[in-house]
Chains A and B, each alone.
Chain A
Amino acid sequence: MNDKSASRAIESIPALLARNAVKFGDRPAYREKEFGIWQSWTWSEAADEIRALALGYLQLGVAEGDFIAIIGRNRPALYWAMVAAQSVGAVPVPLYQDAVAEEMAYVLDHCGARFVIAEDQEQVDKVLEVHDRAPAIEHIIYLEPRGLRKYDHTHLHPLKDLQEQGRAASQQFAPELERRTGKITFDDTCVMLYTSGTTGRPKGVVLSNRNIIESSKSSVEFDNLTEKEDVLAYLPMAWVGDFIFSIGQAYWAGFCVNCPESNDTMMNDLREIGPTYYFAPPRVFETQLTDVTIRMEDASPLKKRLFNYYMDHARKVGPAILDGKPVGAWDRLKYWLGNIVVYGPLKNVLGFSRVRVGYTAGEAIGPEIFEFYRSLGINLKQLYGQTEATVFITIQPDGEVRADTVGVPAPGVELRIDESGEIYYRSPGVFVEYFKNPESTASTKDAEGWVATGDAGFIEEGTGHLRIIDRAKDVGKMADGRLFAPKYIENKLKFYPNILEAVVFGDGRDMCTAFINIDLAAVGNWAERNNIAYASYQELAGHPQVYSMIQEHVEEVNRSVAQDDMLSGCQVHRFLILHKELDADDGEMTRTRKVRRKVVAEKFADLIAALYDGSTEIYTETEVTYEDGRKGQISATLEIRDAKVVETGPTKEVAAQ
């Protein structure tokens, strides 16, 4: 097998690493800001670090097929830990670092990891805490020694020491390492990723080298990514997107992965790096827009007027200019001026000055948010994907970008819509299986390789673009037969900077109602400007003036929804503002911050009942989980308000017939 490997196509990440160490040896592969300075590693240096770690693994006794869990925020050493694991024939399993010990126990036990790479004391503590429930764990390797000095070090090793030992024992283990790296094929497992799971237990999605490499290759070609790109790695390492962007595509194209200094410095680091290729879930774009809006509210009148004037112009012609469509000379001149005065500086502040290709996915993005960024001249596109597809299902080609579709099938992907409207796909990226879960594998992937997405949608006549309506199981019918698609309304509500999250109910009912979560940053700023005193989130959320403000937003959304023939029945009749933020620690959201409808509906059943029984306020008690896993109770009396709806008589009748 070894003699063939030279001529053979590249079939693994370690093979790509070896190629890059030669081909791009002196180009930066990783950067991380530490001690206020961007430290960088070239491809050949990174290859050396990874090799040392891989040798260290061998010395520690890592066997082929072992699972190595990786817990921490995006850091070069943790990426190396994954590639080093692959080099010795083990399977890396990145976990969400903000998961509480409980969730971690399940995953660690389920994959039977013998080794855990933990970033710091916090993660080491969690692993030690659940050790009895995940007994397979033999060794913990950590990155940050702070606070760990007094721990028993028989099964605890600093990563640096492991690398040192690996280097020292190079003679002894090098042949074994070569043997293991050399025999990796397309069909071997590349990585196992646990899906956050909007329902039930997380499932371990097994992705092969073929999945990762084919998907990376075709997506790199689709957007002409080169070794000159810079990406900022800040999304959870346990998420398939980060694995594809920061490992798959980065290794295929040979570009540089930049890691921020800490979570809090992300925005600053983004600005310093100025990525050329950028990915963010809608939430990040929303937060940034909220931030801009807040800051413009505080700006001087002149700046405000300039901003509003040029942003209006940008909305009018920006997207057309970006798509290379014909735009009048006068409008172009004005846009050019605007770029000097407003768009350029704004993009610089946001860290988007160099972005060549930007993607958003994970959830539908509010059209207004999407247009905002595109009108600034940022080539923001949407893609639609899943862990099970190795990200890519559909993708928007340059020049065909719209807010309401998610694009055409990605290269190599076939699409099919079944009678119920659910979307199916088949591609080289389709996952191998759910680990130790043949039933789920069988119910998701059929014998011919078609995978059910769980989303409902349709392919648009003429353009071939896919439009997603909602999660297939969330789309329902109202009591009078009109279509109910909660996500659509929620996204419209969430466009308002004051609204962080919304959950709309109405399936099988005669009207729609909503829970609203206020955005503490935006509403808090507003309160400050209007001299409204508040002591807590709860108090602010329940403030009558906040209610009035949110009511205006809801009514505006109703007016906009009424325009849509298909969904005009989903206007929100009654709403309340929740007294707590929906939180992943309470199980109300997934770690990727998607609302778990069922959990929310069960947990707040009393509130939903009140929304439908006509009462104007309701007393409630709610259990909350603190970050360290302790539980507490909060109670509140919540006001319920009616919102004006627009009568859409004719459609209602037609739909009801």
Chain B
Amino acid sequence: MNAAAPQPYTTEDGREIGGVLMEMKNITLKFGGVTAIKGISFDIQEGEIRAIIGPNGAGKTSMLNVINGFYHPQEGEIVFRGETRSRMRPYEAAKQGISRTFQNVALFQGMTTLDNIMAGRTLKMHRNFLWQLLRYGPALDEEIEHRRKVEEVIDFLEIEHIRRTPVGQLPYGLQKRVELGRALAAEPSLLLLDEPMAGMNVEEKEDMSRFILDVNEQMGTTIALIEHDMGVVMDLADRVVVLDYGKKIADGPPGEVQSNQDVIDAYLGVPH
């Protein structure tokens, strides 16, 4: 079940998805004797929400780490925007427009929401450190411009009320939202979300789902997400790839994946 050339398609809610943004070809990733990912191929198309699911230890987070250049696969190649990617470091991936959130919130705990999100704009800043220190003339203009972008993100995620609150004091659900904000501040073309709803209650999940859909719809951002809550995945994702023990066992629209016997055996149990 491999690597037929990805076709443009129409999602269940009628959006046209077309054009490959990223293609993973036969990726194999090993840590010493442990093979985390075995010869996996799949693609991410421009404008879609792509979910990666699978049981614990299936290699989902490893896959995400491969995508954003944190891990380097021993075999296979990654094509991003038509170019085969050489070995790169995460910040280079970030420069190319890939940003992400983490399974365990990785924010600067002592900094405010505003500063955390501002940190997401680091790569967009052109003036050097000394200019920034001076905070005068062009550096000031630039800061104002960045601040405006950050405020747009704050407005988008409805977190005005915690703008000045150090994130360490925020409840978990809001921290997750701030982290999404930081990723969005980089204006990514591909957004990677590692379990964006882990540890959330139903209401927080609903909010987060709403934001993810809005990001995708309004900003046109392509999203790849890992998630355990099957309800969420089925509602959000346009296409789902299922991993098990480092291998791909299914790939397709949510409805199809859900009824796939391999997936049921490996992961879902009885369908619900």
Contact = CB atoms under 8 A, between A and B. Distances in A.
Interface string A19-48: 000000000000000111100000000000
A271 to B, nearest CB: 12
Contacts of A149: 217-218
A545 interface: no
B160 A262 contact: yes
A35 B156 CA distance: 10
Contact of A262 (B148, B152, B161, B210): B161
A35 B218 contact: no
A331 to B, nearest CB: 39
A264 B151 contact: no
Contacts of B155: 34-35
B154 interface: yes
B161 A36 contact: no
A177 B271 CA distance: 62
B145 interface: no
B158 interface: yes
Contacts of A36: 147, 151, 154, 160, 163
A265 B217 contact: no
Nearest to B203: A627
B14 to A, nearest CB: 8
A35 B210 CA distance: 21
A265 B154 CA distance: 13
Contacts of A261: 160
Q: Among the interface residues B148, B155, B210, B214, which one has the most CB atoms of the partner chain A within 10 A?
A: B155
A268 interface: yes
B123 to A, nearest CB: 22
- What bracket does the count of chain B residues touching chain A fall in? 10 to 19
B160 A265 contact: yes
Contact of B160 (A147, A150, A264): A264
Interface in B203-219: 210, 214, 217-218
Contacts of A37: 151
B151 A262 contact: no
A146 B161 contact: no
Nearest to B114: A36
Given A146-B218, A150-B217, A265 B161 contact: yes
Contacts of A35: 148, 151-152, 154-155
Contacts of B163: 36
Given A146-B214, A149-B217, A262 B158 contact: yes
Interface string A248-271: 000000000000011011001000
B162 to A, nearest CB: 8
B113 to A, nearest CB: 11
Nearest to A267: B161
Q: Is the interface of A mostly helix, strand, loop or mixed?
A: loop
Nearest to A626: B203
Nearest to B164: A268
Interface in A78-110: none
Contacts of A34: 155
A36 B152 CA distance: 9
Contacts of B152: 35
B218 A264 contact: no
A268 B155 CA distance: 16
Interface string A360-383: 000000000000000000000000
A619 B218 CA distance: 50
Nearest to B158: A262
B154 to A, nearest CB: 7
Interface string B124-158: 00000000000000000000000110011011101
A524 B34 CA distance: 49
Nearest to B156: A146
Nearest to B155: A35
Contacts of A146: 156, 214, 218
B130 to A, nearest CB: 27
B161 A268 contact: yes
Contacts of B217: 147, 149-150
Nearest to B150: A36
Contacts of A265: 160-161
B154 A147 contact: no
A264 B214 contact: no
Interface string A115-158: 00000000000000000000000000000001101100000000
Contacts of B214: 146-147
Interface in A335-379: none
A36 B217 CA distance: 24
A147 B217 CA distance: 8
A149 B218 CA distance: 8
Contacts of B154: 35-36
A36 B154 CA distance: 9
Nearest to A34: B155
Contacts of A268: 161
A260 to B, nearest CB: 9
A149 B13 CA distance: 13
B160 to A, nearest CB: 5
Nearest to B15: A150
A13 to B, nearest CB: 31
A266 to B, nearest CB: 9
Q: Most chain-B CB neighbours within 10 Å: which of A35, A262, A264, A265?
A: A35
A275 B148 CA distance: 27
Interface in B172-213: 210
B95 to A, nearest CB: 26
A268 B161 CA distance: 8
Nearest to B147: A36
A35 B152 CA distance: 6
B148 A264 contact: no
Interface in B28-43: none
Contacts of A264: 160-161
Interface in A230-249: none
Contacts of B161: 262, 264-265, 268
A147 B158 CA distance: 14
A618 B86 CA distance: 71
Nearest to B210: A147
B256 to A, nearest CB: 24
A150 B155 CA distance: 21
A478 B239 CA distance: 69
B210 to A, nearest CB: 8
Nearest to A36: B151
B58 to A, nearest CB: 33
B215 to A, nearest CB: 11
Interface string B208-239: 00100010011000000000000000000000
Contacts of B218: 146, 149
A90 B13 CA distance: 39
A253 to B, nearest CB: 30
Contacts of A262: 158, 160-161
Contacts of B210: 147
A552 to B, nearest CB: 32
A265 B164 CA distance: 11
Contacts of B158: 262
Interface string A522-560: 000000000000000000000000000000000000000
A639 B152 CA distance: 50
A146 B155 CA distance: 11
The 7 closest A-B pairs by CB, nearest first: A264-B161, A35-B151, A265-B161, A36-B151, A261-B160, A265-B160, A262-B160
Interface of A: 34-37, 146-147, 149-150, 261-262, 264-265, 268
Given A146-B218, A150-B13, 9 more contacts: A35-B151, A35-B152, A35-B154, A36-B147, A36-B163, A149-B217, A150-B217, A262-B160, A264-B161
10 contacts: A35-B148, A35-B151, A35-B154, A146-B218, A147-B217, A149-B218, A150-B13, A150-B217, A261-B160, A262-B158
Interface of B: 13, 147-148, 151-152, 154-156, 158, 160-161, 163, 210, 214, 217-218
